[in-house]
Amino acid sequence: MLKDAEKRTVTEDGRLMLEKAEKDRIETVWDRYAAQTPQCGYCEMGLSCRICNMGPCRIDPFGEGPRQGVCGADADIIVARNLGRMVAAGAAAHSDHGRDLVEVLAAVAEGKAPGYGIADPDKLKRVAAEYGIETEGKPPHAVAGALADAMMGDFGSRRKELSMVRRAPAKRRELWRKTGIMPRGIDRETSEMMHRTHMGVDNGWQSLLLHALRNALSDGWGGSMIATEVSDILFGTPKPSANTVNVGVLKADQVNIIVHGHNPVVSEMLLQACQSPDIIDLAKAKGAAGINLAGLCCTGNELLMRHGIPMAGNHLMTELVIATGAVDMMLVDYQCIMPSLGKTASCYHTLMISTSDKARFPGMTHREFHPENARDLARDLVKEAVENFGRRGRVYIPVEPVPSLGGFSVEAILGALGGTPDPLLDAVKDGRIRGAAGVVGCNNPKIKHDYGHITLTRQLIENDILVLDTGCAAIANAKAGFKVAEAAEYAGPGLKAVCSALGIPPVLHMGSCVDNVRILLLASALADSLGCDISDLPVAGSAPEWYSEKAVSIGAYFVASGVYTVLGPMPPITGSMNVVKLLTEGLNDVVGAGFAVEPDPEKAGILIRRHIESKRKQLGLDA
Ligand code: CUV
Ligand code: SF4
């Protein structure tokens, strides 16, 4: 059997599926990664530049070759510009996703989105009130229209400050104003980053990095926050519910449909279609026991959070899920969808469908979703998946699914605590819980699959640190069995007692990547209760296996919001010690938090624990 499988993943389903893929001669992301190594050293250090056509240029890190690009840019400028553009791309991805939801909200208001509606009218009212919209006596659709309009205003250049930054502690907002990183418009900050990094504009590596923080804040307190809030309004605010995870959620006797990507606009309509009695009858007439909808990556997290839909896997599992031969249709929207998937699927009967006007993939059939046609198109596609069930060859589903609990929105957490954060704060104050840490982000073949997430999470909960997770990290932790009430057993004595009393797991699934804003909001609520800033709290963030530009933006808005953040894989910045020093040390004096990089999750856990204990001391908690 494949000798590398155990080096590539810590998961049982991943290992067995890697062996199956090898047998089927399916090339995976790990094979392609191996083919790319050793990767370019200049690029790894951030020292190559292709921003203009006098280049491409590269700086010799050993000082023997050129120290400047053709234009005269040095290592500091080139590294800072490259990092700035990563933040811009990540912020753009999250924020454009947010805009798509606002467009659906507007279409719902106009009655032009059949099948969509307002699932949480109370939240609609609350958010509209924050935007200064009169809600009394107005029907939900009118409020939705006004809110969509006001949110579109956040994307442009008409604001001095984004609307939802008012949710941040007053001290934090004052600091953003003082340092000149208060985000003004969502698109504006990304656009300005592209401008500043054009040849011959911003050549101050410090000012570039400060703008990168502002750009990231426009994501965290803007685009992503809008994405999460509008998703809750349209599809419901998550409440704790049970689900199952890993490749074993696929069913040999049912039509299996997988949604992959990020936008619930598509996956929610698929869910409705999969639940239609007439289509279920059709599936039964074709010899299937039913229709099984499951998710991959973040759109899967969206469905898991709101409806308890099963989760087939995270980023590095996406090819391997197809290799089961049991997927009758996979639908993708955008972000983190490997362009290899169409080729993988061509070895099986799986129908691959791309759905977004802005995302095409080789080997997929393009069937575009818009608010007006989504309901009907979803029904047509599910019927086609049902037809495809009969074309299956042999299937291989080698594991049983693991049970898990999801749905921990801030509203749900506060609800579980009896409406206020006080019980949680009391537990932090008396030391039963030492603090809280976000474990978020992707998989990356540079780190053994899920090893970073699971190892770090286990160490944190053993040491009485509550873990809040999202994205692919959340899927890894669910598969590891950390998200059932009984997982309190893995926690230290204090956290275990708190979890047992509340009936919650020690690791709380807070959603998709845009839902990282839920962590920001929880931190803000805690800071407000204590009358302090987020940077004073015994909290930390981490991205043990990150790969995506979106993760760079998330990391940067966490830090700019005052959360110490530990990255697993090293970002491409080591070509400039000035940039490294500013990000890891200097930012502490600017925003009260900084980055650390530690690929070994055991050591990352020690860094986080040390940080949390020092914050406790500063707050006088263990005096
Ligand atoms: Ni948005 S961004 S690999 S699917 S968490 Fe997963 Fe999550 Fe990273 Fe992508
Ligand atoms: Fe080279 Fe400067 Fe152009 Fe970059 S911007 S490619 S360093 S000349």
From 219, 259, 296, 315, give the residue whose CB has the most ligand 1 atoms within 8 Å, as the site to mutate. Answer: 315
Tell me whether residue 66 is in a domain: no
d(CA 107, CA 86): 32
Q: What is the pLDDT of residues 245-304, one digit of tens each?
A: 999 999 999 999 999 999 999 999 999 999 999 999 999 999 999 999 999 999 999 999
- What percentage of the chain has pLDDT greater than the value 70? 99
Q: What is the pLDDT of residues 572-582, one digit of tens each?
A: 999 999 999 99
- Domain termination residue (choose one: 174, 204, 235): 235
d(CA 405, CA 244): 8
Q: Which whole number is the average pLDDT over 126-135?
A: 97
The pLDDT score that the predictor gives to residue 370 is 97
Query: Is residue 200 packed enough to be buried (19+ CB in 10 Å), middle (13-18) or exposed (0-12)?
Result: exposed
Q: Indicate whether 230 and 311 sit together in one domain.
A: no
d(CA 93, CA 223): 9
Q: Indicate whether 422 and 555 sit together in one domain.
A: yes
Nearest atom of ligand 1 to the alpha carbon of 473? 5
**Secondary structure of residue 415 in the 3-state scheme:** helix
The DSSP line for 92-107 is HHHHHHHHHHHHHHHH
The answer, yes or no, to whether residue 551 has pLDDT greater than 70, is: yes
Ligand 1 atom 4: residue of nearest CA: 297
Ligand 2 atom 2: residue of nearest CA: 71
The pLDDT score that the predictor gives to residue 4 is 84
The pLDDT score that the predictor gives to residue 622 is 82
Are 101 and 265 in contact by the 8 Å Cβ rule? The answer is yes
- Domain termination residue (choose one: 207, 235, 263): 235
Q: What is the pLDDT of residues 590-603, one digit of tens each?
A: 999 999 999 999 99
The pLDDT score that the predictor gives to residue 540 is 98
d(CA 212, CA 193): 7
Q: Indicate whether 380 and 437 sit together in one domain.
A: no
Tell me whether residue 608 is in a domain: yes
More confident residue, 416 or 107: 107
Q: Indicate whether 433 and 560 sit together in one domain.
A: yes
Ligand 1 atom 1: residue of nearest CA: 513
- Tokens 């819980």 map to which residue? 433
Task: Specify which residues 365 forms β-bridges with.
Answer: 353
The answer, yes or no, to whether residue 35 has pLDDT greater than 60, is: yes
d(CA 385, CA 381): 6
**Ligand 1 mean position, distance from CA 579 (Å):** 26
From 47, 48, 49, give the residue whose CB has the most ligand 2 atoms within 8 Å, as the site to mutate. Answer: 49
**Ligand 1 mean position, distance from CA 264 (Å):** 14
Ligand nearest to the CA of 337: 1
Are 324 and 395 in contact by the 8 Å Cβ rule? The answer is yes
* Residues shown for the chain: 623
Q: Indicate whether 269 and 216 sit together in one domain.
A: no
Q: Indicate whether 139 and 174 sit together in one domain.
A: yes
One-letter amino acid identity for 579?
V
**Ligand 1 mean position, distance from CA 67 (Å):** 36
* Domain of residue 106, CATH code: 1.20.1270.30
Q: Which whole number is the average pLDDT over 88-98?
A: 98
Q: Indicate whether 523 and 607 sit together in one domain.
A: yes
Are 271 and 309 in contact by the 8 Å Cβ rule? The answer is yes
- Domain termination residue (choose one: 205, 235, 265): 235
Tell me whether residue 10 is in a domain: no
Tell me whether residue 610 is in a domain: yes
ipTM of the complex: 0.95
Nearest atom of ligand 1 to the alpha carbon of 551? 2
Q: Indicate whether 221 and 252 sit together in one domain.
A: no
**Ligand 2 mean position, distance from CA 260 (Å):** 37
Tell me whether residue 381 is in a domain: yes
Q: Indicate whether 480 and 613 sit together in one domain.
A: yes
User: Could you tell me the pLDDT band of residue 81, with boundaries at 50, 70 and 90?
Assistant: very high
| Count of domains for the chain | 3
The pLDDT score that the predictor gives to residue 3 is 61
d(CA 568, CA 442): 10
The pLDDT score that the predictor gives to residue 428 is 97
Whether 181 is in the pocket of ligand 1, judged by its Cβ within 6 Å, is no
* Domain of residue 487, CATH code: 3.40.50.2030
Ligand 2 atom 6: residue of nearest CA: 55
The answer, yes or no, to whether residue 1 has pLDDT greater than 60, is: no
d(CA 216, CA 56): 27
* Residues with C-beta less than 6 Å from any ligand 2 atom: 49-52, 54-57, 69-71, 73, 78, 199
The pLDDT score that the predictor gives to residue 2 is 53
The enclosing H or E element of 22 equals helix 12-23
d(CA 468, CA 537): 15
Domain span including residue 337: 247-389
Ligand 2 atom 7: residue of nearest CA: 69
Tell me whether residue 62 is in a domain: no
Q: Indicate whether 525 and 466 sit together in one domain.
A: yes
One-letter amino acid identity for 414?
L
Ligand 1 atom 3: residue of nearest CA: 442
Q: Indicate whether 438 and 566 sit together in one domain.
A: yes
Are 601 and 570 in contact by the 8 Å Cβ rule? The answer is no
Q: Indicate whether 461 and 317 sit together in one domain.
A: no
Tell me whether residue 290 is in a domain: yes
Alpha helices in 350-393 (DSSP H): 374-389
What single-letter DSSP state applies at residue 400?
Answer: P
Task: Specify which residues 243 forms β-bridges with.
Answer: 404
Nearest atom of ligand 1 to the alpha carbon of 335? 9
Tell me whether residue 29 is in a domain: no
Q: Are strands 48-49 and 57-58 parallel, antiparallel or unpaired?
A: antiparallel
**Ligand 2 mean position, distance from CA 204 (Å):** 15
**Ligand 1 mean position, distance from CA 298 (Å):** 6
The DSSP line for 557-621 is HHHHTT-EEEESSPPTTTT-HHHHHIIIIIHHHHHS--EEE-S-HHHHHHHHHHHHHHHHHHTTT
Ligand 2 atom 3: residue of nearest CA: 52
Q: What b/e sequence results for 229-246 when a residue is b if at least 16 CB atoms lie within 10 Å of its CB, and e otherwise?
A: bbbbbbbbbbbbbebbbb
